[in-house]
Amino acid sequence: MTYPAPLAEQRFVLETIADLPGLARLPRFEAATPDLADAILEEAGKLSAGVFAPINRIGDTEGARLANGAVTLPAGFREAYAAYVEGGWMTLGADPAYGGQGLPFALATAVQEQLTSANMALSLCPMLSQGAIEALTAHGTEDQKQTYLTKIISGEWTGTMNLTEPQAGSDVGALRTTATPAPDGTWRIKGSKIFITWGEHDVAENIIHLVLARTPGSPKGTKGISLFIVPKFLVNADGSPGARNDLRCVSIEHKLGIHASPTCTMSYGDDDDCVGYMIGDENAGMRAMFTMMNHARINVGLQGVSIAERAYQHALAYAKERVQVRRIVEFADVRRMLMTMRGLTEAARALTYLNAAAVDRAHAGTDDLAQREAQGLADLLTPVTKAFSTDVGVEVASLGVQIFGGMGFIEETGAAQHYRDARIAPIYEGTNGIQAMDLVGRKLPQGRWKSLFADMRADFVLFAADDQGGLVPYLEDALAALESATTWLADGGASGGDDNAAGATPYLRMFGLTVGGWLLARQASAAERRLAAGEGDPAFLNAKIVTARFFAEQFLPQAAALLGPVTRGAETLFAIPEEAL
C-alpha cells in the first residue's frame, strides 16, 4: 500500500483555512515563509512515503512484543524513528529556547497528518512526546526544561502520559497511585497505570513518563491530583541516562488495531524506590495534564483525518482497477461512497487545521484581545475536532472496506487495517461522548460560538455574490438549525441535566457537519477566484468546488435534521426500566 502525501490539498487548506500566510506575519512565526512550508511538506512526504509507509503492514502483522519486561518493536521501526529524529521533525513547533524551530502548530499538524496516514502506530510515539513537550513548556521549572524538555524536543527521549487506572478511566479523580515526599525533595511514586501508549519500547534511550498521583492528605477527586516526571532511567549530572528507575512494564495489550504501538500496563514502585519530580504546584496536576490532553485531542482528531485519507486513497486505487462488468469506479453507488469519503475527509481536515491555527494565534497573537478570541475558538473547536474527525475516520475506513467488497474483509488487502486502526480514536484521550458533553456543558457557556456563527453568516453573504451562491441555502438552513439547537442547550434544554446529555452527541455531529460545510464552501470560493485569475491547477480547483457542492447537498440537510434529536430530551432513553433492557 503506497502512500503519496496529499501535498496540493494540504497547501490549499493551510493557505485558505489556517491562513498560514497570516500566521507568518506574526513576529513569532516570521520564519514560516511559503517556500519553507512547501519544502517542509515535501520532505515530510518523502519520509512518510519512503520510510514510515513501507513498514505499516509489517507493524500490523508482527506487532510489539514483550519479553522480560522489555518491549521490542517490529522490523524497521527503530530505523524509521531514527530517521525521524535525524531529520529534526520533533523540533518543528517547539520553543527555540530549548532546541525547537518555533514554527506554527498548523504546519506541524500537516506534517503529523502525513506521518499518521503512513503509519499510525509509529506516529503515536512522537505524538505523545509532543504532548509532553506542551506540558513541560507550560508548567515545568527551568531545571526540568533543561534536563528533560530539550531531550524530548530533540527526539532522543520520548514522553508518555499516565492517567488511567483500572478503576479510574474517564473518572480520573478515582485514581489511587500515590506520591510520598522524600527527604531530598523528590517523591516516591507507587501504583499502576493501564493503557499507557508507548510506555515501554526500544526506539529511544530514555522514556519520560508524566504520571498523575496523589500526595498525602490531598483532597478527594481531581482537586487532589498532582503531576510528576518519572523517568525510565534517572538522569546523571551530565544529562546522560543513569540508573534504572523502579518502574516496569508488566504487560502489553492485545488490541483490535495499532498492533505495533505498545499499549502498556505500567507498575511504579514495586521496590518502593520509584523516583518522581513534581511538575507545577501540588494538587494542580489536572491543570498541567489538560495542557497535554488538549494538544493530544487535536492530534487524535488528526488521526481520524489521516486514516480517512489513507483509506480513501486505497479504495480509490482499487475502484479504478477492479472490473465487474466495467470498472467499479464507474458505478454510481461506488462514486457515492468515494465522494462521501472525500467530502468527509476534507471537511475534517479543514476543521482540524482551523483548530490548530487558532492555537497558534492564541499563543502568538499581537494583542490580548486577539489572543483571547483565538483561545476561545481553540477551546470551542477542540472537542469537535477530536470527536467529529475520529468518527469520520471510522466511517470513511468502513466505506473503504465496503468498496473492496469481499476482499475488504480479507486482511491481506490492508483495507481492514485502516478500520481496525481507526476504531481506537473515538475512544482514547476522552471518549467522543465525553467530548460532546464537554462541548455542551463547558464550551457553549463560554459564548465563543456567537462570534463563530457571525463569521459564518458574513461568509454566506460573500458566497451569495459569487458562483458558490448555490451552496448558501443549504448552509443557511444548517446554521439556522444549529443556532436553534445551541440556544436550546445553552438555556438548559427542557430541564438541563439528562436532557442536555441526551442531545450532546447529535449536537456535536450537527456542529461538525455545519462548520465542515462552511469550510468547504470557503475553499470552493477561493478555488473559484483562482480559476477566474488563471491561477493553479484547474482540475484540482474544480474538484474542490464539486466536493463542496456534494457535501452541501448530501450532508448539510442531515445537519439540519439533527435539530429534532438534539432537542428531544432524555425521556425516551429512560422510559424502559433498566431490568427490562
Is residue 429 part of the annotated active site? The answer reads: yes
SS3 category, 428: coil
Count of CB atoms situated within 10 Å of the CB of 411: 13
Strands 157-162 and 206-213: parallel
> How far is the C-alpha of 397 from the C-alpha of 314, rounded, in Å?
10
Residue 176: all three cell numbers together: 489511587
Backbone angles phi, psi at 250, to 5 degrees: -85, -40
Report the DSSP beta bridge partners of residue 16. Answer: none
SS3 content of the chain, % helix, strand, coil (to 5): 65, 10, 25
User: What distance separates the 2 farthest-apart alpha carbons in the chain?
Assistant: 78
Give how far Cα 232 sits from Cα of 148, 215, 520, 546, Å. Answer: 12, 21, 46, 52
Residue 391 identity (one-letter amino acid): D
Helix axis angle, 498-532 to 332-364, nearest 10°: 100
For residue 50, give every residue at least 6 positions away whose Cβ sits within 8 Å of its Cβ, in sequence order, or none.
none
Residue 557 identity (one-letter amino acid): P
For residue 117, give every residue at least 6 positions away whose Cβ sits within 8 Å of its Cβ, in sequence order, or none.
3, 5, 48, 306, 307, 309, 310
> How far is the C-alpha of 123 from the C-alpha of 354, rounded, in Å?
21
Q: What is the DSSP letter of 18?
A: S
Residues in the chain: 581
DSSP 391-421: HHHHHHHHHHHHHHGGGGGSGGGSHHHHHHH
> How far is the C-alpha of 194 from the C-alpha of 175, rounded, in Å?
11
DSSP 147-205: IIIHHHHHTSEEEEEE--BTTBSS-GGG---EEEE-TTS-EEEEEEEEEEET-S-SSSS
**Of the candidates 203, 208, 209, which has an alpha carbon nearest to the alpha carbon of residue 191?**
209
Residue 251 identity (one-letter amino acid): S
Which of 134, 346, 395, 429 is flagged as catalytic? 429
> How far is the C-alpha of 5 from the C-alpha of 195, rounded, in Å?
30
Residue 144 identity (one-letter amino acid): Q
> How far is the C-alpha of 484 from the C-alpha of 514, rounded, in Å?
13
**Of the candidates 431, 428, 348, which has an alpha carbon nearest to the alpha carbon of residue 120?**
428
For residue 184, give every residue at least 6 positions away whose Cβ sits within 8 Å of its Cβ, in sequence order, or none.
none
Tell me the catalytic residues.
429
